[in-house]
Amino acid sequence: MLLPENQSSGGAVIKVKGNMPLAENMNSPKTEPNNQINITAKKRLANWGKYKTGFLFASPWIIGLLVFYAIPLVSSIYFSFTTYSILQPGEFIGLQNYKELMNDELFWKSVYNTVYFAVFYVPLGIIFGVALAMMLNMKVKGMAVYRTIFFLPTLVPHVALAVLWMWLLNPGFGLVNGILSTIGIEGPSWLGSETWSKPSLILMSLWGIGQAVVIYLAGLGDIPEDYYDAANVDGANWFQKTFHITLPLLTPVIFFNLVMGIIGAFQQFTLPYTLTQGKGTPANSLTFYVMYLYDNGFKFFKMGYASAMAWVLFLIVMALTAFVFITSKRWVHYQGK
């Protein structure tokens, strides 16, 4: 379903553990000749008894997958071909919504803003995230305190974070420009400027990478100590250990966070929304894709149009994910079992 082909091929994904026994023992027993149909039926029944528990245990998710994912996914395709809104039933209009999107200037603006954000945020997030995780993985006292501190910005409510940043980056009395002016640089007006509003947002988002850092930390914990012991015996220095042990063995986790980072970057909503009270100012430079989607769906009640946007987003994210999966074979290393 809607997955890049190679995803199923063994290690491509975040190492799916264990072997994946496919066809043979998964399917119902091989059909016997006709005269033994009774036995087959009995066997089937016995097999059902064997498989029952598995199905039963997984059943909440099978229902959840259908109700909260599969059916909405399919119906959103349908809605994207209609003029549906809560206020009126809507008519089927074929590709009209998509055609309209292609001529919607604000749509393209929101695509540009989102891509701009993703292009800078995702790589920077990985570099900072890995660096922070490595720092927080050192064996020194009081690490619990440090880890909590680095996680703090993730725990502060977004609405409060937005206000804090409006203050920090205020051109008149903000801390950032205050510091810049003491060293003789006249700072830009940050969130008030079309050029600087997106870099400001990237900066803010980088502050909240605590969640990714936790995942990297878990990945670092998975690297066996023996490798470092062996490297120490060989007299390897910090650089060699980092670039020849830590980073290569962390690539599966980096890969996971890269995919999640791309998806997250394209879903940027709460921070710019609260920062601009949903307006995307100045000059729509902070109107991100999902903000515009939200406006269309829940402010203008153009739910058909918004569904078309959702599908375009889905296709973009899928294409990017597929691309990452394809390249991953070149740079993701899995620890041999």
Partner 1 sequence: MDATRKKKVSRFSAHIVLIIASFFFMIPFIWMVSTSLKPLTQVFTFPPEWIPKPVKWSNYIDAMNYIPFFTYLKNTIIITVLSTVGAVLSCPIVAYSFAKLTWPGRNILFIITIGVMMIPGQVTMIPLFLLFEKLGMVGTPYPLILPAFFGIPFYIFLLRQFFMGLPDSLREAAKIDGASEFRIYWQIMLPLAKPAVLAVGLFQFMASWTDFIGPLLYLTDSVQYTLSLGLQQFQSQKGSEWGLMMAVSTMMTIPVVILFFFLQKTFIKGITFSGIK
Nearer to partner 1, 215 or 245 (CB): 215
Nearer to partner 1, 170 or 242 (CB): 170
Nearer to partner 1, 117 or 256 (CB): 256
Contacts of 88 (CB under 8 A, 6+ apart): none
Contacts of 203 (CB under 8 A, 6+ apart): none
Nearer to partner 1, 246 or 307 (CB): 307
SS3 16: coil
Nearer to partner 1, 130 or 136 (CB): 136
CB of 234 to partner 1, least distance (A): 17
CB of 99 to partner 1, least distance (A): 20
d(CA 282, CA 28): 61
d(CA 249, CA 246): 5
Longest dimension (CA), the chain: 94
Contact 261, 125 (CB under 8 A): yes
d(CA 224, CA 232): 14
Contact 114, 288 (CB under 8 A): yes
CB of 120 to partner 1, least distance (A): 19
CB of 301 to partner 1, least distance (A): 10
Contacts of 43 (CB under 8 A, 6+ apart): 29
CB of 259 to partner 1, least distance (A): 7
